[in-house]
Amino acid sequence: MLTLYHAMHSTCSQKARICLFEKGLEFESRLVDLAGKEQLAPEYLKLNPNGVVPTLVHDGDPVTDSSVICEYLDEQFPQLPLSPPDALGRARMRAWLRFIDEVPTAAVRVPSFNGAFLYRFKGLDAERFKQEQADVRPLRKHFYRRMGPDGFSQADIEASVEQIARTVERMEHALDKGPWLLGERYTIADITVAPLIDRMADLGFSDIWSDGRRPRVSDWYRRMRERPAFQRAFPKGARLSDFLKVVPRAGYTGVMK
């Protein structure tokens, strides 16, 4: 029995959902209201002490962190494998997963907050923001403090966009041997980066790869969106612009080369 605690619009939840749908696994869906801070409720923190989504519960045992969840599902349910069969291939896939967690996943949070989530903090002065929004979060206290109620600085936004552009450049290079990031085989690496690319598109930054800048990434993203698992993971309400007033390219003044 699989239960997924997740939020429709959360990129990390989208990674876990794509994986579940690719593998054809049935799961019970438990939506967590992030704006209502349900991820910080004591009962949820028992499952995921980081106070973030997603969390997978398999026969009563919680598994946290989206890329770990994907690898766990692939090991437990070997049908329709999403990892290379050999140790070297898996090492290459895991190197992508570490990079994706460390660089673009972290980078995408910055334009996401500036472009869509600041409404949550309207009217809060610095002290109330610190107490009610930052210091209550086990994993993201310093991220929230750095952001503050008015959002990230222009320098932070530009650094994030540059990190995404570097990611897309690295993808373009890897896709030379495509059609997927690891070559012939579609893997968890493709799954975990796709929601980040989709989020950047939703925030108005698709010119990082479109207009002929990164043609292989553009083609890869089109093929990702055509996959039935991807479409099931992105129902109406999964994109920020489905339900929030997104400010396109908020705070970004740079020009794509």
Binding residues (CB under 6 A) for ligand GSH: these are 10-12, 34, 39, 52-54, 65-66, 137, 140
Measured distance CA(113)–CA(91) in Å, rounded: 33
Q: Which residue is nearest to ligand GSH (CB)?
A: 52
User: 50-74 burial by CB neighbour count: b if 16+ within 10 A, else e?
Assistant: ebbbbbbbbeeeebbbbbebbbbbb
Between 51 and 251, CB nearer to ligand GSH = 51
Of the pair 195, 251, the CB lying nearest ligand GSH is at 195
Q: How far apart are CA 108 and CA 200, in angstroms?
A: 7
Compute the least distance from the CB of residue 34 to ligand GSH, in Å: 5
Nearer to ligand GSH (CB atom), residue 102 or residue 207 = 102
Least distance CB 145 / ligand GSH (angstroms): 13
Closest to ligand GSH by CB, 53 or 182: 53
User: Residue 36 contacts by C-beta under 8 Å, 6 or more apart in sequence?
Assistant: none
Nearest distance from residue 52's CB to ligand GSH, in Å? 3
How far apart are CB 121 and ligand GSH at their closest, in Å?
Answer: 12
3-class SS of residue 56: strand
3-state SS of 97-111 is HHHHHHCHHHHHHHH
Whole-number Å distance between alpha carbons of 26 and 234: 17
Helix (H) or strand (E) holding 20: helix 11-22
Nearer to ligand GSH, 19 or 34 (CB): 34
Specify the 3-state DSSP secondary structure of 190: helix
In the complex, least distance from residue 43 CB atom to ligand GSH, rounded to whole angstroms: 15
